């Protein structure tokens, strides 16, 4: 017996695969592996077969190629199967991905002794994204190389994940709200209605400098909102702006069967409405006390801080029966760090440098639905789902 790799290439046509396998069946070939890809209506189809020694492998295949205007290459190869070591997937995302950027990413993989087995385009818009299946090499070295590349190429984001069942079985996504699901900071929207923007901003700055802690800063800012009425809150709600791609992201996750949750250091008067509007199953945020239609300047619940966000992730994972390694957390601020580190995949979304440095994956593109590409969902799959009637 001899092992032969057959490569068929040329213009894609209806029925090529069926006719090729008919030819191989007539040769009584044993098929060991098949891989096919079509790019711009150009087909490449590889079939690894085993046939009897001395068979005229080329004759029937060349006749098939001649009839179909296809190029046929036949190569005898070793009959030992390829030995695969650790496998992982690298995702490249950017507004545009130039040849120079692709070169730097692939060189980083090669320098870590990784071999690229397959490259698949996931999207052309709103960003370009590619998924590279990598075999072998030192994942720690490759990750370091890729992160170095991303640091000097600010228009390209890079993510690296083990290619295993855990990566394919993500089932729960939890999002921060302010500057993640939405583009705003809710406290600033309310402060604008209360006429205390400057005071709120000064307290926020002190908290960011570490001069006061998160809980103290939140309570001081909430006190400044005392007396704000429900009409002003409604006006603030209408000022809120969703992050581009947020609706597509939440809708697609729902169709894929994901559980979704939001957690916020902001306020439930906003997050409750976001849950209903976006079909999000779980939510937690701070509760503002309202008496006679006005804010009292107090909270009626424990403060949702950095540790509380991580605890909420674990609580929802437990309720839904989802192993923690099958969870995804997305956030932008320091109070998201515990949540990002607890999740199976933590994504720093347009985050502060301290968060980008700590998270295992970072996205700098402004579209929330780009997270779907990190989960291996292509733009074509998103659009196909949108074309169906799920009502």
Catalytic residues, which ones? 176, 178
SS3 track for the chain: CEEEEEEEEEECCCCHHHHHHHHHHHCCCEEEEEEEEEECCEEEEEEEEEECCCCCHHHHHHHHHHHHCCEEEEEECCCCCCCCCCEEEEEEEECCCCHHHHHHHHHHHHHCCCEEEEEEEEECCCCEEEEEEEECCCHHHHHHHHHHHHHHCCCEEEEEEECCHHHHCCCEEEEECECCCECCCHHHHHHHHHCCHHHHHHHHHHHHCCCCCHHHHHHHHHHCCCCCEHHHHHHHHHHCCECCCHHHHHHHHHHCCCEEEEEEEEEHHHHHHHHHHHCCCEEEEECEEEECCEEEEEECCCCCCHHHHHHHHHHHHHHHCCCHHHEEEEECCHHHHHHHHHCCEEEEECCCHHHHHHCCEEECCCCHHHHHHHCCCCHHHHHHHHCCCCC
């Amino acid at each position: 017996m001899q092992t032969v790799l057959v490569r068929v290439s040329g213009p894609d046509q209806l029925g090529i695969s069926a006719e090729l396998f008919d030819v191989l069946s007539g040769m009584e070939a044993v098929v060991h592996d098949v891989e096919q890809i079509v790019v711009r209506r150009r087909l490449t189809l590889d079939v690894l077969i085993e046939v009897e020694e001395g068979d005229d492998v080329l004759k029937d295949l060349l006749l098939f190629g001649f009839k179909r205007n296809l190029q046929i290459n036949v190569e005898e190869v070793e009959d030992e199967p390829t030995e695969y070591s650790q496998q992982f997937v690298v995702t490249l995302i950017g507004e545009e991905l130039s040849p120079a950027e692709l070169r730097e990413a692939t060189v980083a993989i090669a320098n870590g002794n990784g071999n690229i087995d397959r490259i698949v385009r996931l999207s052309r818009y709103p960003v370009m994204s590619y998924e590279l299946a990598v075999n072998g090499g030192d994942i720690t070295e490759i990750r370091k190389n890729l992160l170095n590349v991303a640091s000097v190429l600010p228009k390209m984001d890079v993510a690296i994940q083990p290619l295993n069942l855990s990566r394919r079985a993500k089932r729960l996504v939890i999002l921060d709200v302010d500057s993640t699901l939405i583009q705003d900071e809710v406290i600033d929207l309310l402060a604008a209605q209360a006429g205390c923007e400057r005071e709120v901003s000064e307290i926020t700055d002190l908290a960011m400098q570490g001069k006061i802690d998160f809980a103290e800063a939140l309570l001081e800012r909430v006190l400044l909102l005392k007396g704000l009425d429900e009409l002003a809150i409604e006006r603030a709600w209408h000022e809120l702006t969703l992050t581009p791609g947020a609706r597509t992201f939440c809708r697609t996750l729902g169709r894929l069967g994901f559980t979704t949750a939001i957690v916020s250091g902001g306020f439930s008067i906003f997050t409750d409405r976001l849950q209903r509007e976006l079909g999000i199953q779980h939510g937690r945020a701070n509760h503002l006390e309202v008496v006679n239609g006005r804010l009292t300047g107090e909270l009626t619940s424990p403060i949702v801080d950095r540790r509380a966000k991580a605890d909420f992730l674990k609580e929802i994972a437990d309720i839904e029966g989802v192993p923690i390694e099958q969870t995804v957390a997305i956030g932008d601020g320091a109070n998201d760090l515990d949540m990002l580190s607890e999740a199976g995949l933590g994504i720093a979304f347009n985050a502060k440098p301290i968060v980008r440095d700590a998270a295992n994956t970072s996205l700098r593109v402004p579209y929330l639905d780009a997270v779907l590409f990190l989960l291996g969902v292509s733009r074509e799959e998103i659009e196909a789902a949108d074309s169906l009637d799920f009502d």
